[in-house]
Chain A
Amino acid sequence: MYRYLASRLAGMLAVLAIVAVIVFVLTRAASGDPISVLLGDQATAEDIARVQKDYGLDKPLPVQFAYWVREVLQGNLGQSIFLQRPVTQALWERAEPTTLLALMAVGLAALIGIPCGIVSAVYRGRAVDQVFTGVAMLGASIPSFWFGIVLIQLFAVSLGWFPASGYGAPGAPLAERLHALVLPASVLGILNSALIIRFTRASMLDVLGEDYVRTARSKGLPESSVVLKHALRNALVPIVTVLGLTVALMIGGAVVTETVFGLPGVGNLVVNAVLRRDYPVIQGALLVIAAIYVLINFSIDLLYVAVDPRVKL
Chain B
Amino acid sequence: MNHPVCIIDDDDDVREVMSFALEYEGIQSIPFASAMQAEAYLSNLTPEYLPSLIFVDFMMPEMDGMEFINLMREKYPDTLGKIPMVMSTARLAEDTDVMPAGVLKLEKPIDLDHFIKIAKEHYLPSVKHASVS
The answer to whether A and B assemble together is: no
